[in-house]
A = this chain, B = another copy of it.
Amino acid sequence: MLDYPLLQAMAAVVETGSFERAAQRLCITQSAVSQRIKQLESRLGQPVLLRSSPPQPTALGRRLHNHLRQVQQMEQSIGLGEPQEQLTLRITVNADSLATWLPAALAMPDWPQVRYDISVEDQAVGLRRMKHGEVMACLCASAEPVNGGRAQYLGLLRYRALASPDFLQRYRQPQRPDWLAQAPCLVFNRDDRLQHDYLRQHQAAEPRHTHGCPGSEGFLRCAIEGIGWGLLPELQAREALAAGLLCEVLPDTPVDVPLYWHYWRAESPILAALRNSVVQVAARWLV
C-alpha cells in the first residue's frame, strides 16, 4: 500500500509550485516536506519530482498525483473525505471545444468544491495521457476507448473553411481548380490535418504554404486579418460571419468532427456529474 502522507507532500509541491508554499499548506516545515518526498522516492526507487523552478512532477509523479486525487474523490463519495478538501478534476480537451461550448458544461453550481486542471492536447497526446493515468477524462475526436475506459459520443463540432473577403479576392482564381492550395493556409500546429483533408477532398491538392497558429482566438483573428484561410468552428466564427468579416472559401462545404468523452469505468460521482453536464451542453451546441 502507498504511504499517502508522502503523496500528499508531493501533491502539495506540485500544486503550489514550491516547497515553501507546500509547507504552509500542510502546516509542516519545509524540511519535513523535503524529507517526505525523499522518502517516497527512496521507497519507489525513482524520482517523483524534478527540482526545477518551479518543481515539476516526473511521469511517475504525475501518475501518483492523479491517483491520489482519485482516491480522495472516492473517499468523498463515500462520505469520508475531509469536507474542505478540494476535488481537482484533471481533464484534457481539444482547443476548439475549450474556446467555444465546453466552459458552459464546466459550470456545475451543485459542486462548488470542484477545481479544474485543464490541459489542451492533440488527440493522440490526450489519449496517451489518459492511458498513462495522468488525466481523469479526455475530450477528443477518437471513438476508441482506452483500456479500462469508455467513450461516450457527444455530437459533431461543425467547422467551416473561412477567409476574409479581401483574401478571397486576392487568391481566388475560378479558372484554376486548385487555387486554394496556392493560398496561404492557417493550421493550428503540425498535427492539425483538418485543412489538408479539406483541400484533398475538394481540390485534390495539398496546401503549398501554411502558417502555424496555435491559439483558437488567434486563429480566428488571423483569418479575419487576411493572413490565411482555415477551418473554424461555426460556433466560434458566427459573429464574424454575420458581420461579413469572414466568408466560406467554397460555398456550403462544412466539415463535421465527432467528439467523444473518454472516462474511466471506475467513475467517481463528481466525474459522473461532469460527464452528465458535458453531454447536456453538447446536445445543445453540437450538431
Contacts and interface: CB of A to CB of B under 8 A. Distances in A.
A244 interface: no
A222 B17 contact: no
A98 B213 contact: yes
Interface stretch (A103-111, A140-148, A152-160): A103-111
Contact of A115 (B191, B210, B218): B210
Interface in A91-116: 95, 98-100, 102-104, 106-107, 109, 112, 115-116
B17 A106 contact: no
Interface in A199-228: 206, 209-218, 221-222, 224-227
A226 to B, nearest CB: 6
For the complex of A and B, 6 pairs with smallest distance between CB atoms: A98-B218, A103-B221, A99-B217, A107-B225, A217-B217, A116-B211
Contact of A120 (B99, B109, B215, B222): B215
A177 interface: no
A118 interface: yes
Contact of A116 (B106, B116, B212): B212
Number of copies of this kind of chain in the complex: 2
A71 B217 CA distance: 32
Contacts of A109: 226
Nearest to A221: B103
A76 interface: no
A75 interface: no
A54 interface: yes
A119 interface: yes
Q: What's the interface size class on A, roughly?
A: 35 or more
Contact of A218 (B118, B191, B214): B118
Contacts of A17: 190
Contacts of A210: 115
Of A209, A210, A217, A225, which is in contact with the most chain B CB atoms at under 10 Å from its CB? A217
Nearest to A17: B190
10 contacts: A21-B206, A95-B215, A98-B217, A100-B217, A102-B218, A102-B221, A104-B225, A109-B226, A115-B211, A119-B214
Contacts of A236: 217
B216 A103 contact: no
A184 interface: yes
Of A109, A215, A224, which is in contact with the most chain B CB atoms at under 10 Å from its CB? A215
Nearest to A124: B53
Of A109, A120, A209, A236, which is in contact with the most chain B CB atoms at under 10 Å from its CB? A209
A24 to B, nearest CB: 8
Contacts of A216: 215-218
B86 A118 contact: no
Interface in A233-256: 236
Contacts of A215: 95, 98-99, 118, 120, 215-216
